[in-house]
Amino acid sequence: MVDESLGLKVSRKSGEKIRRTLIEMGLFDRSRKICSDESHVYLPVLEIDEKSAAKLGSIGQFELVHFSFLPEERIISPEDLLGFRPSFEVVGDIAMVEERDAERVAAALMSTNKSIKTVIAPISDVEGEFRTRRFRHVAGEARTVTLHKEHGLRYRVDLEGAYFTPRLGTERLRIAGLVSPGDVVLDMFAGVGPFSLLLAKKGAKVIAMDKNPVAVKYLRENALLNKVNSIEILEGDASELALRYENRADHVIMNLPHSACEFLIPAMRAAKSEGMVHYYCIAPDDDLYKDVALIKKAAEEKDLGVEVLYKEIVRSYAPHRSNVVIDFRLLKS
């Protein structure tokens, strides 16, 4: 048995215009479903007073009716179940949650999102040279390996063995927009390959390196998985490996935000004249682009010209600290 409630009967022709106006006026009843027959649409409304009736009448003809609208099925969110909005990040089919209420949050996530198969909680910060984190298993299948999709590519990732975050997805697209087919790209800190493979798919010739053997293992696997051939993969220290490519790179990607400044000289040597370096760092919010001075100093040391092309916050990192990017062009005589 469905209760009758208030609605507007309007011609199919003016249905969409009136629906939008009702939403703008805050009069559309979202708890009920729109209904239609061959010639008319029935729009559920909360109330209609004289003033709103006059406004709606100026948009299209309508008849006020009582109608048996079906209830709108509402998707239950984790917030509905928990009473608060949990903070979490999803990579592939794994959700990473905070320690507070982890078990309750995991149950809410898994019951509202069937694609989540595993829930883990970090028990360490992102730490060490390889920028990895340790996790504890909270619910679902006990694993840290998953398959993540980004910009049409698939990445096998071990969240405990190598660094990966989906939060840089938009930034990776921005860089892809700057790279042309045939460009040589040196990705100094490639991880499991999210910059490298996207750029190689765009037609760039990519040289990707990482010191973490686990990251390199997944990078190789991901190149095969995505049928990417125009990539050379190297395991080792970027400060040495980059020197093999002196004056070769149209683009150098330096995504090691905590210590990128220590690698400026090899990056500058690898870039060709007019080559671009995409430099990521963590900076205090009151001095976001302090590393510009370091970049200029390193260029001066090597007698190179430098032109800063772009600087922006990529994401917030911690209270009062942000992950920023500085793109600069090198001018070599």
Residue identified by tokens 């019951």 is 111
State which of positions 61-120 bind ligand SAM (CB under 6 A): none
Integer CA distances (angstroms), 205 to 180, 248, 249, 268, in order: 10, 11, 9, 18
Which backbone phi and psi does 189 adopt, to 5 degrees?
A: -130, 70
CB–CB of 235/210 below 8 Å?
Answer: yes
Residue identified by tokens 């093999």 is 244
Among 255, 264, 271, 314, binds ligand SAM (CB under 6 A): 255
Sign for the CA dihedral angle at 264, 329, 252, 326 comes to: positive
Per-residue x/- track, 139-178, ligand SAM (CB under 6 A): -----------------------xxx---x----------
Shortest Cβ 240–ligand SAM spacing (Å): 8
In this structure, how many other beta carbons lie within 10 angstroms of the beta carbon of residue 56?
24
Among 7, 78, 92, 191, binds ligand SAM (CB under 6 A): 191
Binding segment for ligand SAM (CB under 6 A), chosen from 28-36, 134-142, 187-195, 271-279, is 187-195
Per-residue x/- track, 210-239, ligand SAM (CB under 6 A): xxx--x---------------------xxx
Across the strands, what pairs with 318?
321
Among 184, 256, 260, 281, binds ligand SAM (CB under 6 A): 256
Shortest Cβ 299–ligand SAM spacing (Å): 21
Binding segment for ligand SAM (CB under 6 A), chosen from 66-74, 127-135, 284-292, 311-319, is 127-135
CB–CB of 97/121 below 8 Å?
Answer: yes
> Please, which residues have CB within 8 angstroms of residue 102's CB and are 6 or more apart in sequence?
119, 121, 138
Which backbone phi and psi does 238 adopt, to 5 degrees?
A: -60, -30
When asked if residue 209 is in the footprint of ligand SAM (CB under 6 A), the reply is: yes
Shortest Cβ 155–ligand SAM spacing (Å): 9
Among 28, 42, 195, 279, binds ligand SAM (CB under 6 A): 195
DSSP string, 180-207: -TT-EEEETT-TTSHHHHHHHHTT-EEE
Rounded CA-CA distance 114/140 in Å is: 11
When asked if residue 127 is in the footprint of ligand SAM (CB under 6 A), the reply is: no
Tokens of 20: 């939008």
Residue nearest ligand SAM, CB atom distance:
191
Among 67, 130, 135, 289, binds ligand SAM (CB under 6 A): 130
Rounded CA-CA distance 196/176 in Å is: 10
Binding segment for ligand SAM (CB under 6 A), chosen from 34-42, 84-92, 188-196, 309-317, is 188-196
When asked if residue 194 is in the footprint of ligand SAM (CB under 6 A), the reply is: yes
Q: Which residues bind ligand SAM (CB under 6 A)?
A: 129-131, 162-164, 168, 189-191, 194-195, 209-212, 215, 237-239, 255-256
